[in-house]
Amino acid sequence: MAHGIIGDNVPVRGTTRRVRYLGAAKSGTRDVWLMRLTSVALLLLAIAFIWIVLTLIGKDLAGVRAVFSHPPVAILMLLFILASIVHMKLGMQAIIDDYVHSMHLKEWALIANIFFCIGTGVAAVFAVLKLGGL
Amino acid sequence: MNEIIEKRRPLSPHLSIYRPMLTMVMSIAHRMTGGALYVGTLLLVWYLVAAASGEGAFAAVSWFMGSILGQLILLGFTFALLHHFFGGVRHFIWDMGYGFGHPMREWLAWGTLICSATFTVVIFAAAHFLK
């Protein structure tokens, strides 16, 4: 292979038909893949979530703690929270990318989105662990 | 110069120039329910953190969820969750390469609507039965 003056790793020919690493969008394909992955996970986890919520109805605090002290319940709830956080971060990111046209506002919106998702996620995970008696 | 190019760039989506169709409305509804669920996570986090905080906070969140406003919000949350859930199944079928044809995509849209409405009623009935 011919080497140019730019550097050893940059081929002189074929740059337009060869996409290296993640391409111009940097993280686009990874986001699409993660969205599909979390969608499939949530098809199962949302059913578990609805089931858990139904068992919580009408319970006092001791009853709620008792529900979350079962490892399968706490684990499924934690998995639901984790998958939801990734899914909603990507979903809101797509909405911001589509509808917020000012670059300045868009960047702040993307930052706020990440803060919101991590904040709600950590709060929910902490609460479930504490309710489970950990 | 850059600003002129920026302004000429095609921007998606041009919603206002299309006649509304079921599949299009369902696509918009999928986004809207997703956005609603995003905000709705605050409700779940409030419930969980309140329960983890103690009796006082838990009593407050329990009172709100039982109030008329709380019940209406929970009804909306349930419908949004199920609409997005069945809409997700629809998108999964499309991702597999099926269901793009004329009658099938209409059936999928109606199926999403009927399933989400039916299961909202079933789950709310179950919730009131369990209360």
| pLDDT confidence band for A6 (50 / 70 / 90) | low
- Minimal C-alpha gap between B102 and chain A (Å): 25
- With an 8 Å Cβ cutoff, is B65 touching chain A? no
Whether A1 has a pLDDT exceeding 60, the answer reads no
Tell me, what's the pLDDT at B54? 95
Q: Total domain count for chain B?
A: 1
What ipTM does this complex have? 0.86
How far apart are the C-alpha atoms of A75 and B88, rounded to whole Å?
A: 23
Q: Side chain identity at A125, as an amino acid letter?
A: V
Cβ–Cβ contact A86 with B under 8 A: no
Q: Does A45 touch chain B (CB under 8 A)?
A: no
- Residues A94-129 have pLDDT tens digits of 999 988 989 899 999 999 999 999 999 999 999 999
Give the pLDDT confidence score for residue A14 in this predicted structure.
56
Q: What's the CA gap between B82 and B90, in Å, rounded? A: 12
Domain membership of residue B22 (yes or no) is no
Decide if A10 touches B, using CB distance below 8 A. no
Contacts of A58 in chain B (CB under 8 A): 130-131
Residue A67 Cα distances to A15, A62, B57, B78, B131, angstroms: 58, 9, 18, 21, 16
Which of the two residues, A34 and A2, has the higher pLDDT score?
A34
Q: Is A21 exposed, middle or buried (0-12, 13-18, 19+ CB in 10 A)?
A: exposed
- Report yes or no on B93 lying in a domain: yes
Instruction: State chain A's mean pLDDT as an integer.
Output: 88
Binning chain A into helix, strand and coil, the percentages to the nearest 5 are 70, 0, 30
Cα A73 from Cα A52, distance rounded (Å): 7
Delineate the domains of chain A, giving CATH numbers in brackets. 28-131 (1.20.1300.10)
Distance from CA of A47 to the nearest CA of B (A): 9
Residue B68 lies in a domain: yes
Partner-chain residue, chosen from B34, B48, B54, that has the shortest CB–CB distance to A91: B34
B88: in domain:
yes
Question: CATH number of the domain that B105 lies in?
Answer: 1.20.1300.10
pLDDT tens profile A29-58: 788 899 999 999 999 999 999 999 999 999
Chain B nearest CA to A74, separation (Å): 12
Among A11-20, A57-66, B100-109, the range of highest mean pLDDT: A57-66
Q: What is the token pair recorded at A36?
A: 């599909």
Secondary structure (DSSP) of B68-116: HHHHHHHHHHHHHHHHHHHHHHHHHHHHTT---SHHHHHHHHHHHHHHH
Owning domain of residue B48: 33-130
Torsion region of B17: left, alpha or beta (phi above 0 gives left; psi -120 to 50 gives alpha): alpha
Give the Cα separation of A44 and B94 in Å (integer): 19
Q: Could you tell me if B78 and B123 are in contact, meaning their C-beta atoms sit under 8 angstroms apart?
A: yes
* Chain B residues 67-86 within an 8 A CB cutoff of chain A: 81, 85
What average pLDDT values come out for chain B (131 residues) when binned by 10 residues? 59 71 90 97 98 97 96 97 97 92 91 96 91 77
pLDDT above 70 for A62: yes
Partner-chain contact B38 A57, CB within 8 Å: no
Q: CA B58 to CA B55: how far, in whole Å?
A: 5
Q: Is the pLDDT of residue A76 over 80?
A: yes
**Residues of chain A contacting residue B123, judged by C-beta atoms under 8 Å apart:** 50, 54
